[in-house]
Amino acid sequence: MTTPYGDPFLRPIDHFAGARSAPRPEDRLRAVRTSAARLREQLLSAPPVSFFRSAALRRVPYPTRYGLRDACSVPTPFIHIVNRLFIVQLPAGPGREKKTVLYSPSDIHANGETPFFKRLTTSMGPLAKLGEPILSPIHATVEERLAEVGIAPEKVDYISYDHLHTQDLRKWLGAGGDAGYFPNAKLLVMRQEWESTHGLLPTQAQWYCPHGTDGVDLSRVVLLDGDVMLGDSAAIVHTPGHTEGNHSFVTRTSAGIFVTSENGVGPDAYAPSASRIPGLAKYARATGCEVVLNGNTLEDSVDQYISMIAEKTLAGPSPENPDFPNVACSSELGAYWAFPGITPTFGFGDMTFGEPDLSPRQAAAPATGAGARP
């Protein structure tokens, strides 16, 4: 089967075609909600992915005014978020080898060059190095998390991020001719996100790692022009708002459908009316808002609100706590002793479903189609 992306594992879908075209935002919201419900039903009829694991990489402080906007009434300047790696394996098709996909494999050391976080560290002065193990403790690296599972770097087929804030890709994909840590992997990214990264405005540039894509071979980059299925049991859905090229990972697991994104910072943000974080439920009642945006850049708050509704509709209620949707954020709000006063009502933490396929990677057949499209 030939697809625009040169791999039958990646199939364009049109569930959301035209859903955001109406001039009235409430009509767009209605259409997107309906489209999300339709894709959800399709994924629920698919078999679960064979392996799904989320694992903490690092905790970082994040301004409350960004993560919980105007909803939180606790007068603390920072919340704590946990950056996670998601490891997913699923069949490429009947009788075909499984594919290994990594969501959010952050280079936690190189990402420290992101201007916003670098300024934050500098503002601490001599206390920066002393305070780093306390304020930004590292749980594990990507390499360590993969080694825990037993998956070899050569076995990774694709890496992807819901957006490219803070990401440095060069270690993973190589630069200047180097094959990188994942020699067979390609990056899945929305074309708009890739283009934005190469022509940022000052308000955006504070959140992108300088030179993070420099020298990356474009043949290692698959530019997506819309929503795609990954096999039959996962999808990448364009969910603009947090950035113009933001997308969400939608994964059918044995525990239901999980949606991964950073449009919100945790389940409380997707169900503020059920939240016990001071201020969130009151905010939801006063404004009628169904979600609380993660708004450090606010590239498009209307789109972001609609995207978060799409995400919670795709996810459906969590079996563990039906008051909250199955949205496992790539950077999830977490309780932390160094930042008292804000404790999430509900969270997912690290999760594992299924067993990993540790067989050696087979030689790839020659691809057909357009392949990467710079």
254-302: per-residue pLDDT in tens?
A: 999 999 999 999 999 999 999 999 999 999 999 999 999 999 988 999 9
Residue 70: CA atoms inside 13 Å, Cβ hemisphere, count?
5
Place 3 in a pLDDT band, splitting at 50, 70 and 90: confident
User: Of how many residues is the chain composed?
Assistant: 374
**Among all chains, which residue has been given the structure tokens 């094959």?**
179
Share of the chain above pLDDT 70, in %: 93
CA–CA separation, 235 and 246 (whole Å) = 14
**Among all chains, which residue has been given the structure tokens 């933001």?**
246
192: left (phi over 0), alpha (psi -120 to 50) or beta: alpha
Across the range 219-248, mean pLDDT stands at 97
CA–CA separation, 76 and 360 (whole Å) = 49
CA–CA separation, 257 and 319 (whole Å) = 10
C-alpha of 53 from chain center: 14
Ranking 118-122, 187-191, 229-233, 289-293 by mean pLDDT, the lowest is: 118-122
Tell me: pLDDT of 364 over 80.
no
CA–CA separation, 22 and 190 (whole Å) = 22
Count other C-beta atoms under 10 Å from residue 198's C-beta. 9
3-state helix, strand, coil in the chain (%, to 5): 30, 20, 50
User: What confidence score (pLDDT) does residue 37 get?
Assistant: 98
CA–CA separation, 87 and 104 (whole Å) = 9
Across the range 35-53, mean pLDDT stands at 98
Across the range 127-139, mean pLDDT stands at 74
Domains in the chain (CATH in brackets) are 10-354 (3.60.15.10)
Maximum Cα–Cα distance for the chain, whole Å?
Answer: 58
Across the range 80-100, mean pLDDT stands at 91
Query: In angstroms, how far is the first alpha carbon of the chain from the final one?
Result: 22
Residue 169: CA atoms inside 13 Å, Cβ hemisphere, count?
31
Q: Which three-class secondary structure state does DSSP give residue 283?
A: helix
CA-nearest of 295, 250, 265, 310 to 37 is: 310
Amino acid 14 reads D
Tokens of 238: 């364009």
Helix and strand totals (H; E) in the chain: 11, 13
Instruction: Measure Cα distances from 308 to 157, 227, 293 in Å.
Output: 28, 16, 8
Place 370 in a pLDDT band, splitting at 50, 70 and 90: very low
Tokens of 308: 């978060």
What residues pair up with 102 in beta bridges, in sequence order? Answer: 87, 159
What residues pair up with 259 in beta bridges, in sequence order? Answer: 250, 327
Tokens of 143: 């390499």
Mean pLDDT across the chain: 92
Q: Which three-class secondary structure state does DSSP give residue 305?
A: helix
| 90-103 CB burial, b ≥16 within 10 A, e <16 | bbbeeeeebbbbbb
Q: Which three-class secondary structure state does DSSP give residue 31?
A: helix
User: What confidence score (pLDDT) does residue 373 get?
Assistant: 37
CA–CA separation, 224 and 325 (whole Å) = 27
pTM of the model: 0.93
| Burial of 343: CB neighbours in 10 Å, binned 0-12, 13-18, 19+ | middle
CA–CA separation, 117 and 301 (whole Å) = 23
The better pLDDT of the pair 38, 96 is held by 38
Ranking 54-58, 127-131, 165-169, 250-254 by mean pLDDT, the lowest is: 127-131
User: What confidence score (pLDDT) does residue 89 get?
Assistant: 98
